[in-house]
Each structure stands twice: as C-alpha cells, then as structure tokens.
Amino acid sequence: MNGKRNKEISRCKLVDCVFLFTCTLLVLELTIGPSFINLSYSLKVIQNELVKYENDFFHVVGIVQNDENKTIDNIYAIATLIGKDNSILGNYSNQVEVHPLKPSETTPFDITIYDRNKNDQIKNYSTLFKFTSTSAETHRDLEIHSVNSRSDMLGFYFIHGRITNNMNIISNNTVVIATVLDKDHNLLGVWKAQTEPYNVPPLGSASFTIPVTDNFQVSRITNYTLFVNNS
C-alpha cells in the first residue's frame, strides 16, 4: 500500500466538479447530485466528499489542483451547508493543507462542521475556494520514501515513512498529509503528522508516522495518498 515516491503522490481517479467564478479570487464549486459541469479551470476539484467521522462530526474533505499558470497562496476552502428549501445552515472554513501551490500542484483540504445539531438538516453543500496570486519563491523539494502501513490491536491505522530534504536549505515546519481511500476510491478522511525532526536539515532526512484513529474509516481503508508541506 505504498505511495509513489515523490513529493505529491496522486492515485485518485480524477472527477470534474462544478465551478463558478464569483470574482478573480473566488472559485465556487457546487455539489448537486451526480452531475458536474466545469465552468472554470483555475482551481480544479479532483475529489470532494461530505463524510461523517466516528465522533459524529461531518467533514467536507477533498483535493484541489492549481490550474493557473502562476503560483497561488492564502488558499482557503469555505463550505456552505444547504438545508430544506435551499436554506443556508451555516458556513465553515479552513486553510488547505499544502501552500503555496505552484501550477499543477495539488492539495487536500478538510473542513470540520462543528455544529452536530445540524447533521440531520443537511441536504446539500457548496464549496468556495478563496486564494491570491503570489510571486514569492517556494521551496519544497522533499521526497517521501520507505512508506509502509499497519493496523494495531486497538483498531488504529498507522502510515509510516521517511522524507528526504533534497534542498540546500532547511525545511521548516515539515508536515506529511495523508488522504485515505476506500476500495471505490472514495475519500474517507484527511490525516497528518509532523516529521521527526520537525525541521529537516539540508540534504537530511526525517521519519513520520500518521495515525488514523477513526474506526469508521480504518476498516474501509484500501489505499492512501501522501502530500508534504513546509514553510
């Protein structure tokens, strides 16, 4: 169950979702049943799921790709919950996991819906992505390798591996992110962990262990995808 050894490993089936530009920095993706229509290619949704975790919290999780010909940053995913008669139940947001994003790079996102009292009212949802362009140089030449995974006696699932910093500068605040998938390639959740050491020296390496502690997901995991972020 090892991922491909590179800094962003993607084995997901690509799914085009609905986009609508609301302004130059906003991209709206509407999720309406099984029908998807591409209206823009600036920030493409590869996967987007509304999932319930074991603790009864819903999460809007997914993967997006930068289809711009420039680097983007300050990327936030904003989920709007829609109830009966298209009423708005609330808005929730979170920063994406990998940033900045160069052209063609991908990142997971995970938005937690903190109000469980609205669970039974959710009929639909939309996802808005807000970002800005940047000319800042990014440094993320990091290689993931020696990956393996296992379950333990308590029912938790662990993804282990190592990461090598191929740069001549330190990789600060290094985090490895996993998106876990079921047998049908549906996205179950997004999990992450810091590397050890957290700051990886030039041409040095570090280890990581990502725990998946949600029993609803562990029994269904058949694959995963790994990403890396730093600052």
**What's the pLDDT tens digit per position in 23-68?**
233 444 444 332 222 333 468 999 999 999 999 999 999 999 999 8
CATH topology for 142-229 is Immunoglobulin-like (2.60.40)
- When pLDDT is averaged across residues 110-121 and rounded to a whole number, the result is 94
- DSSP label at residue 85: G
Which residue is listed with tokens 């570090």? Answer: 206
Whether the CB-CB separation of 63 and 46 falls below 8 Å is answered with yes
Lowest average pLDDT, out of 18-27, 76-85, 141-150, 214-223, goes to: 18-27
What does the alpha-carbon distance between residue 184 and residue 92 come to, in Å, rounded to a whole number? Answer: 27
- When pLDDT is averaged across residues 146-165 and rounded to a whole number, the result is 95
Whole-number percent of the chain with pLDDT over 70: 82
Where do the structural domains in the chain lie, given as residue ranges? 20-133, 142-229
CATH topology for 20-133 is Immunoglobulin-like (2.60.40)
142-229 shares the fold of 20-133: yes
Average pLDDT for the chain: 84
